[in-house]
Amino acid sequence: MSNLGIGQLAKRAGVAIDTVRYYERNQLLAPAGRLASGYRRYGESELKRLRFIRRAEALGFTLEDIRGPLSLSDERNVAKVKRAAEAKLTDIEQRIAELQRIRKGLRTLITACPGHGRAEACPILNALTQENPR
């Protein structure tokens, strides 16, 4: 059932028309067909695919992740999808740990900085200009 135009598809998926076109250009989404006039037509499978892409992105997956291990196909490999999700979780946990380390360091610098005086005495500026900060 290919009865949706690009505007209708975008609206039902909650995205902009440009987003649909972007996914098409990146070969993540293809129209179900075209009318004689050249207008694209979409069906439920394209709507489902578009929602899948948006939800995967919201979970932190890149377009390459979506195109690769998370790609929708007739032969869904659940183990492969689980491994991809586990790898993404590990990556996110590492980034969170790094951000927490950065937050702690920044808090320390802010606490040490009086907020007035000479720039040479500012712990924040000194930390940012050190050759080997740690």
Statement: the pTM of the whole predicted model exceeds 0.85: no
Average pLDDT over residues 101-123: 90
pLDDT band at 37 (very low <50, low <70, confident <90, very high): confident
Query: What is the predicted pLDDT for the residue at 114?
Result: 86
Average pLDDT over residues 34-54: 87
Assigned domain for 72 exists: no
| pLDDT for 64 beyond 90 | no
pLDDT band at 74 (very low <50, low <70, confident <90, very high): very low
76 phi, psi to nearest 5 deg: -75, 125
Domain count, the chain: 1
CATH label of the domain that carries residue 5:
1.10.1660.10
pLDDT band at 132 (very low <50, low <70, confident <90, very high): low
Assigned domain for 75 exists: no
Assigned domain for 80 exists: no
Query: What is the predicted pLDDT for the residue at 2?
Result: 59
| pLDDT for 73 beyond 80 | no
Assigned domain for 117 exists: no
Query: What is the predicted pLDDT for the residue at 83?
Result: 87
Average pLDDT over residues 28-51: 85
Assigned domain for 52 exists: yes
